[in-house]
Amino acid sequence: MVSARILLVGDLILDEPDPDSFFEPSAATLRAGDVVIGQVEVPHSTRGHVQSTDVPAPPAKPEHLEALPRAGFNVATLAGNHIADLGPDPIEDTLSKLTDLGIRTTGAGMNLSQARQPALIEANGVSVAVFSYNCVGPKDGWARASKAGCAYVNVLTHYELDHASPGGPPTIYTFAAPESVEELRSDLAAVRSSVDIIVVALHKGIGHVRSQIAMYERDLSRAVIDAGADIVVGHHSHIMRGIELYKGKPIYHGLGNFVSVTRALSPTAGDTPEARAWALRREQLYGFKPDPNMPTYPFNPESRNTIIVDCLVDADGSVDAGLIPCWIDDAARPVPLGPGDGERVVDYVRTIGQEAGLSTDFEWDGERVRVIAAADRVQS
């Protein structure tokens, strides 16, 4: 018998005024969950100054976080490539504001030990631990023993030129550093015997491109399941990725955007040459142009396909993996879809999974969609 319902969404960027309005179509669905988890992508603070050596994201207003509990969220994952862009004070402000709102946090802290601590929550007799790790850098945003930042997995990239053309296209190998995986494994082991369900969120993947799953992503996600996780989700790429089942446990390789509203990535926005240059280079690198009619949604138009992860869990550790298909409308609001309209989003998720070599399939179960092994699909 199912005891609790865990809902998860991808990146939350709450840069625009009136953030509640962007949750209006989805809030009723989210509030039906017992544990509702979202990835807070940027710091929310009025303090700090740019410290990142990467392209920093501007901070959002602390009061914008107040929309999250009103929309049903009670857990925030924070490990990502932007949380430390402005230094330690905005991390502290973000943690403090979320805590004051009653939202449990994981993935960032004033030191590495704090960043690696899980968010612990209980719902309907099911105890849940949620972990959050950044796999994409930049390294200067990682927490240390006495430095604020995010929890992380160190992913290495090797380029192998296997033909006689210097400067030609290489084969790219990526893998998680073994010692980093071991640290993650020890984090999970510390709570495995005391909770019923472990959820791990990985900030991972190649941004903005359709369906591609880098080598390290499948290996690392499966290693996380082997380490004791029951549900693994990915975010960061700002576009959906495929879904697989491994040892009966779901791996959602990329949840894409949810409420991700910002003008910072518009080619005409930004108050620094670096920001403007990156906005243009991003389009050249990844081969897309944002919809000019959606100035607060500067992402690949395909990323308007998105989902809410919908997992039904029990205290015995069982997980019925599912999803609710959503479409990001012209006002940049994710809208949950039922049978009929939702089938095109399900078809998209199925197709990008097949393109990535995944064999997962899907079937409607009322207003949600179950994730199943392709061989288990009931023929009608």
φ, ψ of residue 4 to 5 degrees: the values are -145, 155
Can you say whether residue 119 is alpha, beta or left, with left for phi > 0 and alpha for psi between -120 and 50 degrees?
Answer: beta
What is the rounded distance in angstroms from the CA atom of residue 297 to the CA atom of residue 305?
13
Q: How far apart are CA 267 and CA 177, in angstroms?
A: 36
| Helix/strand number for the chain, H first, E second | 9, 21
> Which residue type occupies 153?
V
Give Cβ neighbours of residue 344 (< 8 Å, ≥ 6 apart): none
How sure is the predictor about 54, in pLDDT bands with cuts at 50, 70 and 90? confident
| pLDDT score of 280 more than 80 | no
List pLDDT tens digits, range 94-120: 999 999 999 999 999 999 999 999 999
Decide: 112 and 106 in contact? Cβ < 8 Å: no
pLDDT in tens, 198-208: 999 999 999 99
Residue 139: exposure state from Cβ atoms within 10 A (0-12, 13-18, ≥19): exposed
> What are the pLDDT digits (tens) for 261-276?
998 776 565 556 777 7
pLDDT tier for residue 166 given thresholds of 50, 70 and 90 = confident
User: Residue 252, Cα to own-chain centre: how many angstroms?
Assistant: 9
Domain locations in the chain as residue ranges: 4-376
pTM reported for the whole predicted model: 0.95
SS3 13: strand
Give the per-residue pLDDT at 377: 56
- Domain spanning 4-376 has what CATH number? 3.60.21.10
Range 165-181 burial, b when 16+ CB lie within 10 A, else e: eeeeeeeeebbbeeebb
Give the helix ranges, DSSP H, for 101-177: 112-115
pLDDT over threshold 50, residue 380: no
pLDDT tens, position by position, 38-51 = 999 999 999 988 87
The Cα–Cα gap between 165 and 143 comes to: 40
Give residue 277's pLDDT. Answer: 77
